[in-house]
């Protein structure tokens, strides 16, 4: 008896309180077999059903192997312009020696019993596509997890590969469909009517320079704009002026993302503060400012910029996948309307560690930038370096140094992909200190629009005040009306016709040499 009780105690100890019925021993991949049968049956019942879903589904979207083979046979019949029905599909599968693999002619016939009509075939097809995307995400996630456990895997290659595979799912399965001309016409006419009733001519993101906006009507959505110049001409300063003018525009403030691959975020902010407060960049960089200048910096610079929708990323060697991911997040969370990249040649492609031609890499980057502009429906301004061909063209100090499209560095694809190409040119960069009238041209800057897909080609003249990192309209006075809005005033003329300015209450009694300031 004691032995029996002991055995019962042992059995009780082995008992568990876990309900085995609630345990999951495995997971079935997302699928919709019934809908797959309904879609295939509907295609065989109605003549135009296949054309409705061919842009949505591919054979691999079906979970059941037999359904993949049947849909592939339907594609084969459509390519041969043959009708799609029970008999033709059975014959096509027999020709491919796959009829027995799908369950014979009986199974093909059985599919038509799963549906009455093709009325909801598009909705059914989209659900099948969603299940396929879920399965693909599970597959890719599994591969990423497996690779992440490998010690030999380079983490940056892994990130790049993961981004590439996820983008491939989006690119291959979530493409925009065709739009009929009538719907496009309605939207176009509505846009034209809206512009007719607006008092302003700028339809895109304003540049802040009326003479430039007159030609471009602002930076237009989906456009890729290339801003190119030789080193130290003022590309970064001009680009930051464009960013500052966009975010600080009183009637149309626009969020801007600046990706700086060359300079730190702190250096960029110093330049923006200099332009906004009109205090010399050299003083801000060195922190050598008087008390009244600090007050001016806070009042005109810090307080104005503190709430501006300006986002700066100074990640070095940024690749196109990282850029795309960051821009998507900024567009979703902060609704940015303009992206500026400084500069194109410092970006890396997707093939680090692989044998990739640099020209092909730049071509791929410019192509992706254009695609990103279209995807997010925003303009992208990419700065670019010029080749040394500009320096070798012409003799001496003549004026034949204006950049050309062929001077774009490393790739002709930049010229092809861009909707607009602008060149910055400063005569004094080549020691040309007077214009054709013999007048001093210090700070004179030519913005040459060499390619404009949707407008005219013109050259705009601005005045560079690089000691405060600011550009102003040339007719705003240059140095006969500086364009400075602070407490500046002319005090005397100097050799060459230039005027000297001082800021009241400060010790600044002359203009610095622009070439002494890095830009």
Residues involved in catalysis: 262
* Number of alpha carbons in the 13 Å side-chain half-sphere of residue 96: 20
Assess contact for 130 and 61: CB atoms under 8 A: no
**Separation CA 376–CA 252 (nearest Å):** 19
Other Cβ atoms closer than 10 A to 354? 9
**Separation CA 328–CA 323 (nearest Å):** 9
HEC per residue, 21-55: HHCCCCCCCCCCHHHHHHHHHHHHHCCCHHHHHCC
Query: 378, 387, 437: which is closest to 408 by C-alpha?
Result: 387
Characterize the bridge pairing of strands 470-473 and 459-465. antiparallel
**Separation CA 223–CA 3 (nearest Å):** 88
Assess contact for 251 and 198: CB atoms under 8 A: no
Alpha-carbon distances of 229 from 95, 400, 425, 445, rounded to whole Å: 63, 15, 7, 11
**Separation CA 315–CA 302 (nearest Å):** 24
Query: 293, 260, 250, 197: which is closest to 487 by C-alpha?
Result: 293
- The region, left, alpha or beta by phi > 0 then psi within -120 to 50, assigned to residue 116 is alpha
Assess contact for 519 and 236: CB atoms under 8 A: yes
DSSP 205: B
CA 285 to chain centre: 31
Going across the sheet that includes 310-313, the strands are: 310-313, 256-260, 338-342, 380-385, 224-229, 420-425, 444-452, 459-465, 470-473
HEC per residue, 118-174: CCCHHHHHHHHHHHHHHHHHHHHHHHHHHHHCCCCCCHHHHHHHHHHHHHHHHHHHC
Question: Which three-class secondary structure state does DSSP give residue 203?
Answer: coil
Per the listing, tokens 């016939």 go with 109
């Amino acid at each position: 008896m004691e032995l029996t009780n002991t055995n019962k105690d042992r059995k009780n100890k082995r008992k568990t309180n876990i309900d085995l019925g609630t345990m999951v021993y495995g997971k079935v991949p997302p699928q919709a077999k019934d809908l797959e049968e309904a879609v295939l049956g509907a295609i065989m019942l109605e003549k135009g059903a296949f054309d409705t879903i061919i842009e949505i589904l591919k054979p691999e979207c079906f979970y059941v192997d037999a359904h993949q083979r049947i849909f592939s046979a339907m594609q084969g019949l459509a390519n041969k312009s043959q009708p799609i029905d029970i008999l033709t599909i059975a014959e096509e599968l027999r020709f491919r020696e796959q009829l027995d693999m799908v369950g014979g002619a009986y199974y093909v016939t059985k599919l038509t019993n799963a549906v009455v009509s093709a009325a909801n075939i598009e909705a059914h097809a989209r659900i099948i596509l969603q299940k396929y995307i879920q399965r693909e995400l599970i597959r890719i996630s599994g591969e990423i997890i497996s690779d992440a456990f490998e010690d030999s895997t380079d983490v940056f290659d892994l990130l790049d590969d993961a981004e590439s595979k996820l983008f491939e799912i989006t690119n291959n399965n979530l493409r925009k469909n065709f739009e009929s001309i009538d719907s496009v016409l309605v939207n176009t006419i509505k846009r034209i009517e809206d512009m007719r009733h607006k008092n302003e001519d700028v339809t895109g993101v304003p540049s802040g320079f009326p003479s430039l906006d007159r030609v471009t009507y602002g930076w237009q959505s989906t456009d890729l704009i290339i801003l190119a110049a030789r080193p130290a001409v003022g590309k970064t300063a001009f680009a930051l002026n464009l960013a500052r003018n966009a975010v600080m525009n009183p009637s149309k403030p626009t969020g801007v993302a600046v990706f700086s691959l060359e300079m730190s975020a702190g250096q960029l902010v110093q330049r923006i503060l200099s332009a906004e407060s009109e205090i010399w960049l050299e003083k801000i960089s060195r922190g050598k400012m008087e008390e009244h200048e600090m007050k001016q910096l806070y009042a005109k610079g810090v307080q104005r910029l503190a709430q501006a929708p300006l986002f700066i990323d100074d990640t070095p060697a940024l690749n196109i996948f990282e850029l795309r991911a960051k821009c998507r997040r900024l567009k979703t969370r902060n609704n940015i309307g303009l992206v500026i990249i400084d500069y194109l040649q410092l970006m890396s492609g997707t093939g680090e560690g692989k044998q990739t031609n640099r020209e092909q890499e730049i071509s791929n980057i410019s192509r992706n930038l254009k695609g990103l502009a279209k995807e997010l429906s925003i303009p992208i301004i990419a700065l670019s370096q010029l080749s040394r061909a500009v320096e070798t063209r012409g003799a001496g100090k003549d004026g034949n140094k204006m950049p050309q499209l062929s001077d774009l560095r490393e790739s002709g694809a930049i010229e092809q992909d861009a909707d607009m190409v602008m060149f910055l040119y400063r005569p004094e960069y080549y020691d040309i200190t007077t214009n054709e009238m013999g007048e001093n041209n210090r700070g004179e800057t030519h913005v040459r629009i060499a390619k404009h897909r949707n407008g005219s080609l013109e050259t705009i003249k601005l005045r560079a005040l690089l000691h405060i990192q600011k550009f102003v309209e040339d007719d705003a006075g240059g140095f006969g009306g500086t364009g400075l809005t602070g407490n500046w005033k002319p005090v005397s003329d100097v050799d060459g016709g230039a005027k000297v300015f001082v800021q009241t209450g400060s010790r600044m009694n002359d203009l610095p040499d622009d070439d002494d300031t890095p830009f």
